[in-house]
Amino acid sequence: MLAMQLVAASENIRLVPFTESSGAADPIRRPDPTSLLGNLQEKHASSGNVFVEMSDVGFLISKTGGGPCASCAANITLQACRMMLGLDPVGHPHRVILQSFKDQEALLGGRVTNHQFVRLLKSYESQLEGAKLTIEVVSAPNSPHATDGKTWGEDHPLVLQVKPDELQILSYTVTREDGEVLGRHFVILKQIADGQVYVVDPNVPTKTRRYVLEEKPEGSGRVFLRLPPDVSAQPFVNELNTVFTVQVGPLKKAAPTVGSVESIKRQIDVTAKRLAERGELKSPIVWRSKTASFGLPGLDLPQELGGSNWSAEKMIEVFRHAGRHDLNLRDVVGGAHGHAAPHRSLGFRQLLLAHRGGRKAVALHGRPSRPRPQRRSFRGAGFKPASGHRPADLRGHTGGENAGLCVSERRVCRGTDG
């Protein structure tokens, strides 16, 4: 079960951290921004090609524009939204941000407005494979960016929260101690803990910065991001001006069009010939990846899960035909071992519904309650081990009628022609 713990920073500020109760795990749990952004930071630290850092594109922004922080923050948001949907991060983030500059030239001038930032985020829906973003904007009562009339205050407190399928981007005005306004900066809320907010800063995205929120004067609605006592002070005043809340909708990917039995047979022949030439004929992972585009893995699965719900009679014809190429191919037609999952319980069914669309393969791993005699491994039958596909993304255990079963999720079933 998931729970939200409320921490009051003041009467006009509410901090809602993400917590997990000690109860049973939710079978359709989505990754929360804390773990998700942390994972992206680690990937970027090792590859340098997940985020676009401000230093990478700062020279393109007008010298009086205050820098590319808004564009880089939107790029981090895009990568996080893709991860929330179970998609891999964009492989060429610099191309994406350069295209956004071409499509929205005003971004090169800096000083990005709320409207421009929302437009930029919405343009990234094209990178989400059909998923839509819902964006809510709320500003400080004294913010010059509050052009839409939505502000926080006595009747509408500021709520910062960390929850699945949602991200919050904080924008704050940076002012020198002498009163000179440098501009505003954008950061992504990662975590709330011990009364502090932790954020990913596009200036140095591999590091997590933390702040303490202070409303001053009390009741005014003016909120400042102060550095904690154990962090060296800086000659700047950071005043929160806007919070963008981005909710990520589900993937809306159409199920592949499935032809007749004869059509499926022909496509099996073409695929078998191609994979045999590559030495991959006996790899079930490659088979499922390459045949998802014409619906082979879902022939006998329910239609609500993106399958075709074919009859046993039609499936026998396909099984027989696949076996003419290699007997091991019986495990690449239809749902195979995963076919039992939708019928086990509501939990399994919800899990499959949550990840439908041909993007992932769901495998069942038996965990017998008592020792059994060792059985022959598929490796001895010529199957390639699924190395490199460790099911680390999701591992949920269930009790009751599903005792002894473990569900693992692998991002290996991309529908391509290849």
Q: Domain residue spans in the chain?
A: 2-248, 261-410
| 146-157 pLDDT tens trace | 776 689 986 788
The topology (CATH level 3) of 2-248 is Cathepsin B; Chain A (3.90.70)
Tell me the two tokens of residue 164. Answer: 């699945």
Asked which of 59-73, 197-211, 256-270, 273-287 is least confident by mean pLDDT, the reply is 256-270
Picking from 50, 31, 74, 37, the residue whose alpha carbon sits closest to that of residue 197 is 37
| Cα separation, 96 vs 90, whole angstroms | 8
**DSSP for residue 145:** T
Longest CA pairwise span in the chain (Å): 81
Which parts of 218-339 fold into alpha helices (H)? 261-278, 284-291, 312-325
Residues 6+ apart with CB under 8 A from 117: 70, 74, 169, 171, 186, 244
Q: Residue 204's pLDDT is what?
A: 95
Q: What is the mean pLDDT of the chain?
A: 77
The topology (CATH level 3) of 261-410 is Butyryl-Coa Dehydrogenase, subunit A; domain 1 (1.10.540)
Q: Residue 39's pLDDT is what?
A: 92
**Rounded average pLDDT over 86-92:** 87
| Cα separation, 108 vs 102, whole angstroms | 9
Residue 352 has pLDDT above 90, yes or no: no
Q: 368 or 320: whose pLDDT is higher?
A: 320
Helices 69-84 and 93-103, axial angle in degrees (round to 10) = 120
Q: The pTM is what?
A: 0.62
